[in-house]
Amino acid sequence: MWMLAHFNTRRKRRGARALACPRLRRVVAAAVVLIGSSTAVWDSVAMAAESEPQPRPALAFVGPELDVSREGYFTLEWTAVDGAALYRVRDRADQIAYQGVATQSFQSGLSDGVYQFYVEAIGADGEILATSAPAVATVEHWRLAPSLTLFAIGAIVVGGIAFVILRGRWIEKQIAAGDDDRASMLQTEVKSGGES
């Protein structure tokens, strides 16, 4: 115990002698001022950083430029936002096109035209967390001439298939009747067709 008290007394005397030097006192005072001013600068920077508004989370469509839709429907898909309770998709007229928890929306039944949609991420408290840039979709239905051409080709194919089925059924009935000269001729045609 005596040694500890003796050591502390010696240290106090040495510290008092060290600060008795005017040059050392000025260096220590300058260091205290420098450290104090740099701390004040850092504190003001930290306060300024805290007072700046936090950036909104990024919300964007996966494909903001959608392909041209010939059928009048397409799917909008967007990135998820942390803390979002639901998403709301709006069109150019500010009509709600979708509202829910999924990160995609199927839009259908649209006539020809250019459509713009944007999505909002909404928090549990109803606050809008983020809003995306618009996604642009173009709808151009098939024109009448190509549609009628494809319909006509389909009708010819269906008619041809129906003709082959009905003709085969008729030939089958003729062969089954067997008493007709035409039936024996058809049976011969079928047999000779199968051999060649």
pLDDT greater than 70 at residue 43:
no
What does the pLDDT read at residue 37?
Answer: 55
Q: For the domain 65-139, what is the CATH superfamily, name and number?
A: Immunoglobulins (2.60.40.10)
Closest CA to 119 of 102, 132, 101: 132
Scanning the structure block, which residue is given the tokens 């098939």? Answer: 142
pLDDT digits (tens, 9 = 90+) for 77-96: 999 999 999 999 999 888 99
| Euclidean distance between CA atoms 179 and 172, whole angstroms | 13
CA distance 138 to 71: 11
> Is residue 166 over pLDDT 90?
yes
pLDDT at 87: 95
Asked if residue 158 has pLDDT above 60, the reply is: yes
- Supply the pLDDT for residue 124: 92
Share of the chain above pLDDT 70, in %: 62
Output the pLDDT for position 173. 84
Q: How far apart are CA 2 and CA 5, in angstroms?
A: 5
Q: Residue 38 half-sphere exposure, CB side, CA atoms within 13 Å?
A: 5
At 177 the pLDDT is 77
Tell me if 59 sits within 8 A of 119, measured CB to CB.
yes
Q: Which residue has the tokens 């009509």?
A: 95
Question: Average pLDDT, whole number, for the chain?
Answer: 77
Span of 26-30, 42-46, 118-122, 142-146 with lowest mean pLDDT: 42-46
Residue scoring higher pLDDT (33 or 73): 73
Q: Residue 162 above 70 pLDDT?
A: yes
Burial letters for 12-24: b for 16+ Cβ neighbours within 10 Å, e otherwise? Answer: eeeeeeeeeeeee
Q: In 3-state terms, what secondary structure has residue 61?
A: strand
Confidence check: pLDDT of 14 > 60: no
CA distance 174 to 90: 67
